[in-house]
Structure formats: C-alpha cells, structure tokens
Structure 1
Amino acid sequence: MTNKQRKILFSTDEIKERVRELGQQINKDYEGKKLVVVSLLRGSFIFAADLVREIEVPVQMEFMTTASYGYGEESSGQVNIINDIKDDIAGRDVLVVDDIMDSGLTMEKIIEHLKKKNPSSIKSCVMLDKPERRRTEITPDYVGFTIPDYFIVGYGLNYGDYYRNVPYIFSFID
C-alpha cells in the first residue's frame, strides 16, 4: 500500500465538525440521563474519545474488543468477542460506538449480546456507514458520514496494524 496515493475523503476539520454535531444530537436525545458508551476496540477508540468529549450528559465508558477483519480488506463474516464489558448495564442507557458499519454483522452481534444484559435502551453510533455492503437489517442510530463501497483507513481505521493514527479518512488509489 505504500506505493499508492491517498485520496482524502474526510479532512480532519470535517471530522471534527461532524463529531461535534453528533455530540450535540446525543446530548439532546439523552438529556437528563446517564449514558454508558461502549467503544468497540480497536477501530473506534479515536472516534469514541472525540465523541465523548462532545457529550455533556454523564458518561461511563466501557470497552469491548471484537474481531472480524484480520488483515484483509473485507470482513470475514465471523464476529468474535475477544473482551466483554466489565460493568453491569442492566437498566442503563447504552450507546455502542464503532468506527464503521458495512456488513452490519459486528454491530448486530454486539447489540444481541448486550441486550441479554438488560439495558433500558441500546443504540448505535458509527463514524462511517457503508449501507451497500449490509448483510443484515440493522441501521445505525447515529452516523458520521455515509460512504460508498470504498476500503478506507485513517482516524482509527486500519490496514493491517497501521494508519489508525492518521487524523483524516482516506482511501488508497493507484
């Protein structure tokens, strides 16, 4: 991938503005409530950190580690929960945050898993939505940007073990 050029899809400033807008909407929707934000690691850690700084309602952070991509450019279709949340979420409002929803398999599995823990509500928030790749009926509740079927990296999204630290979202071009 080092021989390819980068095509920036969303600049650092565009991302910051959209995350701010998402935070404002979440503040309205959860006004007067306490929120448990579940960040799906590793991809969502940068987005989740930026997002919770924009949320003014009380926030408790939880983390889950899932795996479905390995080192490829497409989901394997097999979603594994590597590490589960630590605290009890029964009767709590939960927002699951992920970097991208394409097939929808990861979010569907995580929501099904968390529903068994009896939260009072559960919603999803993704930085990027790729609906044309959806293999389930799930739709995210909050979306940063909707994109076509590109393989994208940066802002927490990786290729192999790299590019998560890039502060913008891009695609490689020949």
Structure 2
Amino acid sequence: MELNDVASDLKQVLFTEEQIHEKIAELCRRIEADYADEPPLLVGVLKGAVMVMADLSRELKLDAPQDWMAVSSYGSGTKSSGVVRILKDLDADLTGRKVLIVEDIIDSGLTLSWLLGNLRSRGAASVEVCALLRKPDAAKIEIDVRYLGFDIPDEFVVGYGLDYAERYRNLRGVGILAPHVYS
C-alpha cells in the first residue's frame, strides 16, 4: 500500500520506500564488512521487523541464516507497557554464535534491553543490534545500536512493518500517524 493511499491518516511522511532501501543498502555494506569471516544469525523481532528483515536479508551479500522471535511490550495503544512477554521463541541454539538482532524501531529501549540480556544469557559469542528507526527522546534505557537507519522524533509512526492496532504495516514507507486516528 502506498503512503498516498492513507494520506488523511498521516500527519507527515518521514521516509519513502526509496529512502529506506538506500539506508538498508548502506547498513548491509557495513554488516558485510564486519561479518566477512562469519555471517551472523539474523534474529528478526516479530511482527514489526518483517519488512526490515526481508529487505536486509535480500540486500546482504552474505549467506546469513535467519530465526524469529516475537516479544511484546505493546498492546493496542501507542506507548510501551514496559512488560515484556515472549510470544514465540527462537528455534536456533545460540551457543557460540554471532547474533544480529533486526528491529524495526527502538522506542523506550525496555524491550530491546531485555532481549539483549536474554540472548546473551544463551551463550551467544556476540549480540549486536540493527534497527531501522530509533526515537532518542523516548529512550528510558540507552541501547548500543551498531547499525542504525534513522533517528526520528518521539511521535507514533506506522508503515514498513510498524502498525497501529495491526493496521498500516504494509505501507511502503514510514509516516507519523495523525492523532485523530488513535484519539
């Protein structure tokens, strides 16, 4: 779905599909250089990271295996609840492996901080983060993000995997959701 298809639901378009693809290509070149000796296990965080993971893995010139986890600290609202739940765990054993968490967005940092600790406790050789978006002004916990696409304002965004109440995930870009949609 194109951003123009829901223009009345968006306060502002932040990034087009083309801008996102350019940034993902740039991140992939860095990942390839850093992991030339041993490709990482890409761990996508469902559901939001599906689009980022798909485009990142297709752009990578490494044969990097994938696994998925679903963790949640959101309900149907617009703010993090701070409570993390595992909805789907990894299938892969992480012992001795290099892991690259692929995220759509880092908001408060609470969920990702928990996830980093969880994956490190499983014996991974290393655990790094690749995130398309980060809201620095919303951070409650500072997260070291090795591969970052864009810093964005502390507004509720949708598109490219990001949703509001399971809507807007399939937008071909990222926009700020207009308050009238969720008020």
TM-score range (shorter-chain normalised) is over 0.9
Give the percent of matched residue pairs that are identical in Structure 1 and Structure 2: 37
Q: Over aligned residue pairs, what C-alpha RMSD do you find?
A: 1.6
Match runs of 1:34-49 below 5 Å: 34-49=39-54
Partner of 2:82: 77
Partner Cα separation in structure 2 for residue 110 and residue 4 of structure 1: 32
Partner of 1:164: 169
Deviations 1:148-167 (A, max 9, x none): 11110000000001100001
User: Are the equivalent residues in 2 in contact too, given 1:69–1:75 (CA < 8 A)?
Assistant: yes
- Number of residue pairs aligned between Structure 1 and Structure 2: 174
User: Are the equivalent residues in 1 in contact too, given 2:10–2:175 (CA < 8 A)?
Assistant: no
Q: Which runs of 5+ in 1 are unaligned?
A: none
How far did 1:23 drift?
0.7
Moved >6 Å (runs of 4+): none
Deviations 1:17-55 (A, max 9, x none): 001111111001101212100000000011011001121
Match of 1:118 among 110, 118, 123: 123
Partner of 2:3: none
Partner Cα separation in structure 2 for residue 134 and residue 5 of structure 1: 23
Letter in 2 for 1:36: L
Letter in 2 for 1:79: V
Letter in 2 for 1:60: P
Partner of 1:24: 29
TM-score, structure 2 normalization: 0.90
- Secondary structure of 2:65's counterpart equals strand
Partner Cα separation in structure 1 for residue 9 and residue 57 of structure 2: 34
More helix as a share of residues: 2
User: Are the equivalent residues in 2 in contact too, given 1:127–1:145 (CA < 8 A)?
Assistant: yes
TM-score, structure 1 normalization: 0.95
Q: Which runs of 5+ in 2 are unaligned?
A: 1-5
- Secondary structure of 2:140's counterpart equals coil
- Secondary structure of 1:15's counterpart equals helix
Partner of 1:90: 95
Match runs of 1:120-135 below 5 Å: 120-135=125-140
Partner Cα separation in structure 2 for residue 87 and residue 123 of structure 1: 17
How far did 1:95 drift?
0.2
Over 3 Å counting, the alpha-carbon distance change for 1:149 and 1:161 in structure 2 is same
